[in-house]
Amino acid sequence: MGFHTKTLGAVVALTLSTAAVSAQDITMNVGFGAPEDSLYGRFGAIFESLAEEYTGGSVDVRLRCCNQIATEDEGFRAMQLGTVDGFFITANNVSPHWPLMDVTVLPYIFQNTDHLARVVDGEVGDFIRSQLLEDTGVHLLSFGPALYRDFYNSVRPVETMADMDGLKIRTPNNAVMLATFEAFGANPVPLAWSETPTALQTGTVDGGDNGTSFIRDMSFYEFMPNLVILEHFVSMAPLFASSSFMDRLDDETREQIMRAAVDAGNQFSDEVRTETEEVREWLVSEGGMTRTDPDRTDFIAAAQTVQQSVAAERGQEFVDLVNMINAAAE
């Protein structure tokens, strides 16, 4: 064997060896804006465990809480740019980047969390995944659990919709959510999540709404004494991944990561199914909040005007999705 042949063989062997090492040394940094022990952190921990199990340890998932790698408002764009591997982002914060996601944000569009689960597991969910990827280059790996958003404020208990009048309410910068609180009679103030705790604590705004567990996780009960159960939004905690990360994976590993995300979402959904009411009880008994459960007739009527006006603005594709969601309730 000549010198050049030996050299070529050594290069090939080194290349194959390097490729094998690389395949076993893939890191997936997954960000979220909430504390480590929040819903996102708990969902992420299940995904981390399953991803490493399914890939035989070839993918090392690293969870980055508390806006370490990006804020929730920045996370989607960062995935499009390829600077972030994955991120948990509430659906309403995806809408500025992909407006069709607002179909899941419409007030009272879902009759309950089971209705939402049927939607995302069916034709609408399949469409959202495929169209989002085609339009933005971002993969929706799992919709995650369905969660109610509860309302809270520092001014007064809310017994009727008239009690919402004039309250300065923090909302995400989402047109549907802004229109909803305007229809309820409040004065919505759009703020990024990273600015929200300070704005609530200093009185810049009078209140806001979040997934019930976030009210406890963020200790909002310490300065927001009034808990209002409206169940006006049923939200999700989806897990997304960038194309730059997914394209680094071979077909088998990519399927394993996608399966891990779906299984983690299903497992976590089962865990939190009864948790909302338990957290509400804790917020009253331990957190000292005063709970009201207003009659929702006026709220639902106001929400229906928002649904109609948004659908009329967004076009036929949006209307078709609304109709499909309504059909899934039957």
The pTM score is: 0.88
Helices (H) and strands (E) in the chain, counts: 13, 12
Contacts 24+ apart (CB under 8 A), 214-221: 214/34, 214/38, 214/39, 215/150, 215/152, 215/279, 215/283, 216/279, 216/282, 216/283, 216/287, 217/34, 217/35, 217/37, 217/38, 217/39, 218/34, 218/35, 220/152, 221/152, 221/283, 221/287, 221/288, 221/289
Which residue blocks in 218-315 are alpha helix, DSSP H?
243-246, 251-272, 275-285, 297-314
CATH class of 148-234+276-328: alpha beta
Cβ partners under 8 Å of residue 160, min gap 6 = 294, 295, 298
Which residue blocks in 38-166 are alpha helix, DSSP H?
39-54, 72-81, 113-120, 123-136
pLDDT at 147: 85
Token digits for 292?
Answer: 């009201």
Measure the CA–CA gap between 315 and 298, rounded to whole angstroms. 27
* The CATH number of the domain covering residues in 3-145+236-275: 3.40.190.170
pLDDT at 117: 87
pLDDT at 24: 58
CATH code 3.40.190.170 region(s) in the chain: 3-145+236-275, 148-234+276-328
Q: What is the DSSP string of 56-74?
A: TTSEEEEEE-TTSS--HHH
Q: What is the mean pLDDT of each run of 10 residues along the chain (330 residues)?
A: 43 40 75 93 98 97 96 95 97 94 96 89 96 98 93 98 98 96 98 94 97 94 98 92 98 98 95 91 98 98 97 95 92
